[in-house]
C-alpha cells in the first residue's frame, strides 16, 4: 500500500527498556520526521532526516536515537524508556521542494506508547 | 523563535453553527501557514494552506486568510457538521524549501446534532 505506515500502533513497555518505533514510507520522500504529541503541547519535533544517513535534532531529542540507512525507513529508538516518554508518536515525510515551493508533510497514523 | 498560538479548546458547537478558531503566529520573514486536522484515532491531514500575505486557503467548506498585518490565520466554516468533530492544528513553516513545521497546541472541536 502506498503511503506512510507506523508500527506498532500501540505499545506498552516498562521503565528502562529499549523500544523501537518503526516508520516506512513508499513515496521516496527525501525528508522524514518524528514528532511527539502531548496534551497541552501540540506536536513537537524530536528528530528529522533530510536524506539517507543524514539526521539532525529537533526541539526535544533527549532520550531518543534515530537512524536512516534507507530512504524509506526512519526508526525511532528509546534506548532506556522513561515515564515522561509516554506519548503518541507521529512520523511524517515530505518531498524536498524547490525555491518558492511549499511542502506538505504527510503523517502516519501514530504509535501510542505507554511506559509503566 | 517561531511560535503559533491558537485558541484554547475544547469548542462545542451545534450542527450548522458558525465556526471560528483563532490562530496567531510569531515568525521572522514570510512563513507559510497551514491548518491540519486530526480525526479521532488518525494522523494529521493537511486541511488548507496559504503561502503569502492575503492568500486565502480553502477546502471542505473551511477557509482561512493569511493576514500579515495582524499575524493571523483564523480558521472559519459557515456551517459545521458532526463529521467535522476533530482536533485542528495551526502551523507554520519558514517558507521556501523549509522542512520544519511549528505547531500550535491544537483545538478540539465537538459538533453535536
pLDDT of residue A102: 61
CB contact under 8 A, A102 and B46: no
CA distances from B30 to A40, B66, B91 (A): 27, 11, 13
- At B41, the pLDDT band (50, 70, 90 cuts) reads confident
Quickly state the pLDDT bin for A32 (edges 50, 70, 90): very high
Say which DSSP state A72 is in: T
pLDDT computed for residue A103 by the predictor:
72
Better-predicted residue by pLDDT, B28 or B58? B58
Query: Residue A83, SS3?
Result: helix
Q: Which three cell numbers stand for residue A37?
A: 504529541
pLDDT at position B2 is 87
User: Can you tell me the distance from the alpha carbon of A58 to that of A69, in angstroms, rounded to the nearest whole number?
Assistant: 19
Q: What is the mean pLDDT of residues B8-33?
A: 93
Residues A7-17 pLDDT 10s: 999 999 999 99
A57 vs B: CB within 8 A? no
Q: Across the interface, do B99 and A58 touch by the CB < 8 Å criterion?
A: no
- Give the residue from A103, A106, A110 with the most B CB atoms within 10 Å of its CB, the best one to mutate: A103
pLDDT at A100 over 60: no
- Provide the pLDDT confidence category of residue B28 given band limits of 50, 70 and 90: confident
* Residue A103, CB-side half-sphere exposure with 13 Å CA sphere: 24
Residue by residue, DSSP assigns chain B as --EEEE--S-EEEETT--EEE-EEEE-SS--EEEEEEE-TTS-EEEEEEE-STT-EEEETTEEEE-BTTTTB--EEESS--GGG-EEEEEEEE-STT---EEE---EEEEEE-
Q: Which residue has the higher pLDDT, B30 or A11?
A: A11
Q: How many CB atoms lie within 10 A of CB B103?
A: 22
Between the alpha carbon of residue A43 and those of residues A58, A72, B43, B67, B90, the distances in Å are: 12, 22, 11, 24, 11
> How many Cβ atoms sit within 10 Å of the Cβ of residue A82?
11
Residue A107 in grid coordinates: 503523517
Amino acid at each position: 500500500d502506498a503511503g506512510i505506515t507506523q508500527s506498532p500502533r500501540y505499545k506498552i513497555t516498562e521503565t528502562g527498556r529499549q523500544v523501537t518505533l518503526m516508520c516506512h514510507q513508499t513515496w521516496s520522500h527525501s525528508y522524514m520526521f518524528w514528532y511527539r504529541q502531548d496534551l497541552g503541547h501540540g506536536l513537537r519535533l524530536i528528530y528529522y532526516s533530510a536524506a539517507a544517513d543524514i539526521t539532525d535534532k529537533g526541539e526535544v531529542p533527549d532520550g531518543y536515537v534515530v537512524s536512516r540507512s534507507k530512504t524509506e525507513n526512519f526508526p525511532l529508538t528509546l534506548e532506556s524508556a522513561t515515564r515522561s516518554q509516554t506519548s503518541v508518536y507521529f512520523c511524517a515525510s515530505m518531498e524536498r521542494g524547490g525555491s518558492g515551493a511549499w511542502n506538505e508533510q504527510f503523517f502516519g497514523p501514530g504509535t501510542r506508547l505507554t511506559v509503566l | 523563535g517561531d511560535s503559533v498560538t491558537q485558541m484554547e479548546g475544547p469548542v462545542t458547537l451545534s450542527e450548522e453553527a458558525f465556526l471560528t478558531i483563532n490562530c496567531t503566529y510569531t515568525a521572522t520573514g514570510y512563513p507559510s501557514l497551514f491548518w491540519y486536522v486530526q480525526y479521532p484515532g488518525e494522523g494529521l491531514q493537511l486541511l488548507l494552506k496559504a503561502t503569502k500575505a492575503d492568500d486565502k486557503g480553502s477546502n471542505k467548506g473551511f477557509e482561512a486568510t493569511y493576514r500579515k498585518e495582524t499575524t493571523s490565520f483564523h480558521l472559519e466554516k459557515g456551517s459545521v457538521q458532526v463529521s467535522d468533530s476533530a482536533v485542528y492544528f495551526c502551523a507554520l513553516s519558514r517558507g521556501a524549501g523549509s522542512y520544519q513545521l511549528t505547531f500550535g497546541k491544537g483545538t478540539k472541536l465537538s459538533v453535536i446534532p
